Amino acid sequence: SQQGEEDPQALSIQEGENATMNCSYKTSINNLQWYRQNSGRGLVHLILIRSNEREKHSGRLRVTLDTSKKSSSLLITASRAADTASYFCATDDTRGSYIPTFGRGTSLIVHP
Amino acid sequence: DAGVIQSPRHEVTEMGQEVTLRCKPISGHNSLFWYRQTMMRGLELLIYFNNNVPIDDSGMPEDRFSAKMPNASFSTLKIQPSEPRDSAVYFCASSWSDEQFFGPGTRLTVL
């Protein structure tokens, strides 16, 4: 299995601004997922993008995938204080069994 | 559905003691994952079950760790003997497709 790496490690913005987080990975994937983790809680699935998709939207979330660069980005528009959390990308691989591996996450702080 | 249930939520024990963490996956899910999360190492996959069978345990750190899934609705992660470096938050997750559903975690502190 492989590991996605998020960038930046930490991000601090003001409410209303957009937040962009990136994820890079090493080998071919079937899909890439983004998860969110509030402090002291388990991870919550946000969005999945498949390898044949380039962009996907869900509410204020926009995810892009560039398989040629082996990277993905998560954009949160019009951020709110409640978006404060850690965000992780998870990649599977193309070997058949779905074994996702997570990066170390981006810690996002949105100041009210 | 109540989601993935983990118990206990917090565990404080002394070095050398046996620790057992429990997980009840979401009904109908056929895959179960155990993860460990620390500041230093991030979120590590320890073991993965599919249809109650361990598929990949390459993440289990050493023989002190063992995991079982006797049926589709229950799994345990056991550490014997525990060591201070095992202190972490342990998550269980289940899935039936690509999306994983995480439990609230067990915060383990080994003194």
Q: Do A42 and B104 touch (CB under 8 A)?
A: yes
Q: Do A98 and B31 touch (CB under 8 A)?
A: yes
pLDDT of residue A27: 84
- Residue A19 buriedness (CB in 10 A; 0-12 / 13-18 / 19+): buried
CB contacts under 8 A, A 36-65 vs B, are 40-45, 48
Of the candidate ranges A24-33, A47-56, A95-104, B74-83, the one whose mean pLDDT is the lowest: A95-104
Chain A residues within 8 A of B29 when measuring between CB atoms: none
pLDDT(A94) > 70: no
What are A68's two structure tokens? Answer: 């040629």
Name the band, by pLDDT with cuts 50, 70 and 90, for residue A96.
low
pLDDT of residue A3: 67
Q: What is the DSSP letter of B84?
A: G
pLDDT of residue B1: 64
The count of residues in chain B is: 111
- Render pLDDT for A45-89 as a digit per residue (tens, 0 to 9): 999 999 999 999 999 999 999 999 999 999 999 999 999 999 999
Name the band, by pLDDT with cuts 50, 70 and 90, for residue A6.
confident
Q: Do A105 and B42 touch (CB under 8 A)?
A: yes
- Render pLDDT for B17-55 as a digit per residue (tens, 0 to 9): 999 999 999 999 999 999 999 988 889 999 999 999 998
Report the distance separating Cα B22 and Cα B68, nearest Å.
10
Q: Do B4 and A104 touch (CB under 8 A)?
A: no
Q: Say if residues B14 and B66 touch (Cβ distance below 8 Å).
A: no
Residues with Cβ within 8 Å of B47's Cβ and at least 6 positions away in sequence, in order, are: B33, B34, B54, B56, B57, B59, B60, B67, B77
pLDDT of residue A98: 64
Residue among A43, A97, A99 whose CB faces B102 most closely = A43
Residue among A30, A99, A102 whose CB faces B43 most closely = A102
pLDDT(B98) > 90: no
Residues with Cβ within 8 Å of A97's Cβ and at least 6 positions away in sequence, in order, are: B48, B50, B55, B56
**To the nearest whole percent, how much of chain A has pLDDT over 90?**
75
Question: Which chain A residue lies closest to B107 (C-alpha atoms)?
Answer: A40
